[in-house]
Amino acid sequence: MKKFKKIVYCVLPSLLAGAFLFSSAASAAEWKYAMEEALTDPQGLYATKFKEEIEKNSSHTIKIYPVGALGESADAMEQLQAGLLQFIDQSPGYTGAMIPEAEAFLVPYLMPSDPKQVNIFFKEGKAVNEMMHKIYREHDLELLSVFPEGEQAVTTMNEFRSPADLNGMKIRTMPSPLLLETYKAFGASPIAMSWGELIGALKTNMVDGQENPTVWIEAYGLDDLTKVLTYMGHNHYTTAVMANADFYDGLGAKDKELIQNASDVALDYILALAVNLDAQGLGRIVRTNPGYKIVTLTEAERAPFKIRAAAVEKAFIEKVGSRGKAVIEQMKKDLADAASKAK
């Protein structure tokens, strides 16, 4: 997937034509929704369910722009902020530079591996559903849903089981300051780049590996470009669905309720699917690429990475300040509650 500048120029007139059609709840409108993935990926499945709910319960329609249709992630966010889009789905790995507190979702070894606990945390946690809503609002964004797409897996050319093994290994990360900090702490040499550059970088050995959920790794053939997939248990890929705040505030109560209800339905839908999608992706890799090595680090092997992760959490708090510390503390409380409820 490359930068789609020509496509951006082509679609801008249609975006502009619809930019002012959303002000009235009384008339039908076409709302535009951009995301970082294909329709068959987790973000696409959420978006499709959201679209179904909106169109089933109103005269409005949703036009979905999958990955690349409007350029890279930064291009789509600019269009949302300009009012050319009404909705966007974007990972904190991309929005973290704009919203530093959002990088709390990227702190390694904060999230558990148990999917039931993770789902409860995202659906019921105060950090996600109250604190982050207020923080995103400060950036003119109405936060609708935050959800995990699957456990992060690391694909590399060579096997690793310790920070020493990662020494000098060039690992691609999303353009997130905290992800760069994480892989430096883990012993690697991280390189930030967009998704559109990743496949070419792997083919030309510009990077030695990358991290993504298994469903992505299989869908985009990243296993064909590397030799080992490793589960470190360090995090889940998290993404956030947002609306342009001016657009949202200009709606009537009925349309606001419509959007919130559609978000709730889509969130329940994707939380129920995400774990199976990862498992299905891994199953396809095992069947179609039998020589590919799958490694799950033991607790003993994860221990030195967890020790180094503490420094990343400290760096996040130092960078973001007291509010970042409050977010992390609330996330830990929410995770403890989720663990109790998941028993």
Q: Length of the chain, please? A: 343
Residues in the chain, pLDDT under 50: 1-14, 16-26
Helix axes 299-320, 177-185, angle to 10 degrees: 140
The residues, ordered by sequence, that sit 6+ positions from 306 with a Cβ below 8 Å of its Cβ are: 109
Residue 5: how many other CB atoms lie within 10 Å: 11
141-156 and 293-296 beta bridge pairing: unpaired
pLDDT tens track for 288-332: 999 999 999 999 999 999 999 999 999 999 999 999 999 999 999
Quote the CA–CA distance of 272 and 238 in Å, as a whole number: 15
pLDDT tens track for 197-251: 999 999 999 999 999 999 999 999 999 999 999 999 999 999 999 999 999 999 9
